[in-house]
Structure 1
């Protein structure tokens, strides 16, 4: 598979904090080696982006909040070999690397937003996306995050700057929280449990705002 170094620790922390606050939580988890299932949480284990998509749309129909913390690869191999891809050593042949053709994976977050807009998810009141971003010549982390929030159409977007020992594989995190109404706030550096608490606070405030 094609992936990244995301450990799943932040998603597990969000699930654990939400359960501790009294929510009924279903955690869909993949490639989270070494992480114990959080207490009081129903855990569904998957191993591919396609399985994640199917599980999300199976369980989200009954959910009030969807938190998409998974760092899903944007591409997958078009074809998966059933046997080892061997080097060749015939006459006149070289040991050049094989060409791997890629296909886009389904955009699960955008698909959930579309389904809610189309009235297929009437119970779903909040959709929270995550963005692991880096800056480039076109703009900084927040520039790309704001564009992603607008493109995806979710209610809240948690933004992490990745690289140099940040976000992936570590026990601490920081970032920003962007809202569809234009509000932005910093998420201070601290444990991933602390960040999960801040995210839970933001979700609670968002839901209360919808009730007013």
Structure 2
């Protein structure tokens, strides 16, 4: 979006007007990008949110990670995962709807937030994502770690494409930085940290471990064994874990409605 257009939109908002974001897709010019009229369901959702609007995150700064990371092996190949970033983007937009200043640290994905209240910083690797989050962490009230960060990266990155040979090849891997655990060490009593746990087995055990180990206040658990949950889809089924409290299980919902449930729980910590 052109700088002057952003300025004009912010000016309109300063007069009390509400902006419904444009859609992304093929335009009348034949180009592809932002500029389509919002879909009817998006208009209805925006209007519903306007008339039922909460402002329980007003004057709060939220930083949130979303999407995958990519760890280079050579100039052609990298290690990554199937995360789309849809869940994190939905949470970022819900926070903005509720009055927060939102910084979205987004890994490499085709998904975008077009919400006027969300500032997006694009990153690729786990280290880049950490540096972006660390730059904002000291001034944030809420940190939400929704990205699927790659746990291991190649120990060395080739400067040329690795050529195929007749025999097998082994790749040495090393741990990437644990963003949530690292920032959790400097978390103050006034800050709230929210983590995610996507599991395939022993789901509750692994999620409970994250809750303590990474100094989270909330952990959002979902399982790939639940149909409609997990990466890339538009729905999710989550369980929210808190300290000294029974887990709260939710039915399958759209990711936008899951975001509402998560933030409803989060505001109880403020």
Short-chain TM bin: 0.7 to 0.9
8 Å Cα contact 1:12/1:38 also seen in 2 = no
Q: How many Å separate the matches in 1 of 2:145 and 2:203?
A: 19
Aligned to 1:112: 183
Aligned to 2:193: 127
8 Å Cα contact 2:123/2:129 also seen in 1 = yes
Aligned to 2:17: none
| Greater mean alpha carbon deviation, residues 14-23 or residues 27-36 | 27-36
Per-residue CA deviation, residues 23-79 of structure 1 (Å, 9 max, x unaligned), is: 110000011214344331111010110000000100111100000000101111111
| Corresponding residue to 2:167 among 73, 86, 96 | 96
Please state if 1:156 is matched with 2:214. Answer: no
Q: How many Å separate the matches in 2 of 1:187 and 1:39?
A: 29
- After superposition, residues 169-180 of structure 1 pair within 5 angstroms as 169-180=232-243
- After superposition, residues 58-77 of structure 1 pair within 5 angstroms as 58-77=135-154
Aligned to 1:7: 84
Q: CA deviation at 1:165?
A: 5.4
Q: Please give the root-mean-square deviation of Cα atoms over the aligned residues, in Å.
A: 1.6
Per-residue CA deviation, residues 169-209 of structure 1 (Å, 9 max, x unaligned), is: 100001100012333101221100001000110111122xx
Please state whether the residue corresponding to 2:258 is helix, strand or coil: helix
Please state whether the residue corresponding to 1:50 is helix, strand or coil: helix
Q: How many Å separate the matches in 2 of 1:127 and 1:62?
A: 13
Structure 2 unaligned segments of length 5 or more: list them: 1-77
Aligned to 1:166: 229
Superposition TM-score, scaled by structure 2 size: 0.68
Please state if 1:201 is matched with 2:264. Answer: yes
Structure 1 unaligned segments of length 5 or more: list them: 89-94, 208-212
8 Å Cα contact 1:19/1:25 also seen in 2 = yes
- Over 3 Å counting, the alpha-carbon distance change for 1:156 and 1:36 in structure 2 is closer
Q: How many Å separate the matches in 2 of 1:180 and 1:59?
A: 26
Q: How many Å separate the matches in 2 of 1:189 and 1:147?
A: 24
Q: How many Å separate the matches in 2 of 1:158 and 1:131?
A: 6
8 Å Cα contact 1:37/1:43 also seen in 2 = no
Per-residue CA deviation, residues 155-180 of structure 1 (Å, 9 max, x unaligned), is: 11001102565310100001100012
The total of aligned residue pairs comes to 192
